[in-house]
Amino acid sequence: MSTNVDASTSCQPGLHAKLPQAVDVLVVGLGALGATIANLLARYGVHVMAIDKAIDSPTMHGAIALNNDALRILQMIGITERDFDATAMPHVRMRRPAFGKFSMVNNLHGHPKFVSVHQHDLEHCLRQQLERDDCADMVVGATLTDFASKQDCIIATLDLGHGRRYSVETRYLISADGAHSLVRKLIEQNSKARIFAQDGNHEDMESTASRRVFLAGDAAYTAPPWLDQDLATGLHDAANLCWKLAWVIYDHADAQILDTYDEERRPHMNAMMGFGNFIRKCVTPRHRGPGLIMHGLLRLLRCVSPWPTYLQELGINPRNIFRRGLFVKQNKGEKLAHGSPLPQTRVRGSDGTTRLSDDVLGRGFALIGFGVDVSSFLDASIAAAFAAAGGSIVQIIHRGQRLHVEAHGAWEDLDSAFLPRLVSVGWAAVIRPDKIIIHDGPATDANRLIRESLTLLGLPINFLKFSLWG
């Protein structure tokens, strides 16, 4: 059972007895990002403790903007924009007339492009979700004061108030405590981990703790305020890191895959910082001459196809696509961009149920057969290894294909987002838990696709003997 404790209560008997002595992951910070990280880890079955010095989310937090990518990550923990007071933005108008109006009302990947939400409401919703999970312990009114790195764990010291101290053993520690992160300060003092520097550059600080302490969101970098996407960027960190930690904790991947968190996320963050600085220079140029040139260029681009649509739909916004990382190197003839997110769309099951495709793919790896039952091409040993690594097999067919084939358990692509727009019938793809494309190819090569994908986890296939969730 989960434990939810208000450590600020001065006369709470047996407080230490209510708290676990050891956890898999300690999350420092219970804002929207920290609560999302804790929820993701708990959803993977990881024993997580999340702490915050604040008893409740500050009510003075104002409205924030979440894009469709952020909403898609919240979907991974079972939260949709209907669970909190969210308002879809019909458009956003920049202060400079050269930018005009950006359209935001369209849906993308199953969610509105942008919604406005009160941060307090979102954090309250996330905390409520965490309270219901048996794998999570939530402690408020507690402050991390120090941590010490051991060979196979970290010993964290917490201040519970009223002179009380408490130590907990954790395999990993994640800092999600904002721009003034205490964890980051401790790291910088002891030079025990690799971090993003606040100006977007980075320093490499190696030690035995470098794979046990992770920074996320504003604790790792300071995102430009011009785009109001600090939380959305942090949620990308959460989705990227949490599944990797879960697979390592369950011995379904070597700890070396944790290095790809920095390798994949840093370039995207640097691109976001560069884009934010570009927007700042466009909106508030320091000098009149360059400002007039920039605004004139933007006005001209809005008159030349396809730039009007590109600008209005925010196509210039850096996408969360990786050049290097935990995916198979792209080869000639492969149709999907490895290291990029798989689009999400509506799909319909054989019973007539309509769902979003991410929910159908599940929380682990997925092998998708497009228009074909890809399991028929798998050897029994490969199929067993894939299942043991937390993999599932999904068949997606084009709309109306059910009339021509026996497709029990298959899902119809209602919006033609996959078939025939993305791939053709007879194709297959391997998808990571964070819905990043790891490999693709003909369905007849399914054994090779699985074998090469699982090899990236750093363990021999015959080592995977037990299913991730039992």
% the chain with pLDDT above 70: 72
d(CA 238, CA 231): 10
pLDDT > 60? residue 315: no
Whole-number Å distance between alpha carbons of 410 and 373 = 8
Residue 313 pLDDT greater than 60, yes or no:
no
Burial 410-447 (b: 16+ CB within 10 A, else e): bbbbebebbbeebbeeebbbbbbbbbbbbbbbbbebbe
- Average pLDDT in the 153-175 region? 94
**In this predicted model, which residue has the larger pLDDT, 428 or 304?**
428
Check: CB of residue 451 under 8 Å from CB of residue 461: yes
Residue 312: pLDDT band with limits 50, 70, 90: low
| Buried b / exposed e along 206-243 (16+ C-beta atoms within 10 A) | eeebbbbbbbbbbbbbebbebbbbbbbbbbbbbbbbbb
| 128 pLDDT more than 90 | yes
Q: How far apart (Å, rounded) are the C-alpha atoms in residues 406 and 301?
A: 50
DSSP class of 45 = T
- The residues that bridge with 378 in the sheet, in sequence order, are none
Q: Angle at Cα 170 formed by Cα 168 and Cα 173, nearest 5°?
A: 110
Mean pLDDT of 146-167: 91
pLDDT of residue 161: 86
Q: Which two tokens stand for residue 155?
A: 């010993």
Confidence of residue 189 (pLDDT cuts 50, 70, 90): confident
**Residue 198 predicted with pLDDT over 80:** no
Supply the pLDDT for residue 66: 87
Q: Where are the domains of the chain?
A: 3-272, 346-463
pLDDT reported for residue 276: 66
Tell me the backbone φ, ψ of residue 349, rounded to 5 degrees: -85, 175
Q: State which amino acid sits at residue 236.
A: H
What's the confidence (pLDDT) of residue 17?
55
Structure-token pair, residue 368: 């998708």
Q: Point out the least confidently predicted range of 144-153, 227-236, 424-433, 437-446.
A: 227-236
DSSP per position, 139-176: EES-EEEEEEE-SS-EEEEEEEETTEEEEEEEEEEEE-
Task: Return the higher-pLDDT residue of 270 and 426.
Answer: 426
Domain 3-272: give its CATH architecture: 3-Layer(bba) Sandwich (3.50)
Residue 113's pLDDT band, with cuts at 50, 70 and 90, is: confident
**Domains 3-272 and 346-463 are alike in CATH topology:** no
User: At a CB cut-off of 8 Å and minimum separation 6, what does 412 contact?
Assistant: 347, 348, 349, 396, 397, 398, 399, 400, 401, 402
Q: What is the pLDDT of residues 52-67, one digit of tens each?
A: 998 877 665 667 888 8
- Average pLDDT on 164-177 reads 95
Q: What mean pLDDT is predicted for residues 3-16?
A: 56
- Residue 20, pLDDT > 60, answer yes
In this prediction, residue 26 carries a pLDDT of: 98
The SS3 of residue 74 is helix
Least confident piece of the model among 58-62, 246-250, 420-424 = 58-62
pLDDT at 61: 64
Give the C-alpha separation, 71 to 73, whole Å. Answer: 5
Under the banding of pLDDT at 50, 70 and 90, the label for residue 197 is very low
Question: How confident is the model at residue 111, as a pLDDT?
Answer: 83
Question: Lowest-confidence range among 14-18, 99-103, 125-129, 167-171?
Answer: 99-103
Choose the weakest-confidence range: 100-104, 167-171, 307-311, 419-423: 100-104
Would you place residue 78 in the very low, low, confident or very high pLDDT band (cuts 50, 70, 90)?
A: very high
Q: What is the DSSP string of 379-432?
A: -HHHHHHHHHTTEEEEEEEETTGGGTS--TT-EEETT-TTTTTT--TTEEEEE-
CA distances from residue 119 to 76, 91, 115, 413 in whole angstroms, order as listed: 19, 20, 12, 34
Mean pLDDT for the stretch of residues 195-212 = 46
Q: Are strands 354-356 and 195-196 parallel, antiparallel or unpaired?
A: unpaired
CA atoms within 13 A on the CB side of 396: 29
Look at the chain and count its residues.
470
**Measured CA distances, 293 to 56, 289, 306 (Å):** 48, 6, 21
Q: What is the average per-residue pLDDT within 389-409?
A: 79
Q: What DSSP string describes 262-304? A: HHHHHHHHHHHHHHHHHHHHHHS-SSHHHHHHHHHHHHHHTTS
3-state helix, strand, coil in the chain (%, to 5): 35, 25, 40
**What is the distance between the alpha carbons of residues 467 and 470, in angstroms, rounded to a whole number?**
5
* Residue, of 302 and 405, whose pLDDT is higher: 302
pLDDT at 99: 52
The residues, ordered by sequence, that sit 6+ positions from 199 with a Cβ below 8 Å of its Cβ are: 222
In this predicted model, what pLDDT tens digit does every residue of 255-264 receive, in sequence order?
999 999 999 9
Our CA angle for 365, 366, 369, nearest 5°, is: 160
Predicted confidence (pLDDT) at residue 79 exceeds the cutoff of 90: yes
**22-37 pLDDT tens trace:** 999 999 999 999 999 9
pLDDT of 207: 37
Q: Is the pLDDT of residue 386 over 80?
A: yes
Please give the CATH architecture assigned to the domain spanning 346-463.
3-Layer(aba) Sandwich (3.40)
Q: Are strands 346-348 and 411-413 parallel, antiparallel or unpaired?
A: antiparallel
> Structure pTM?
0.85
pLDDT of residue 269: 79
Return the higher-pLDDT residue of 112 and 348: 348
For residues 338 and 438, the answer to whether their CB atoms sit within 8 Å is yes
CA terminus-to-terminus distance, the chain: 18
Average pLDDT value over all residues in the chain: 82
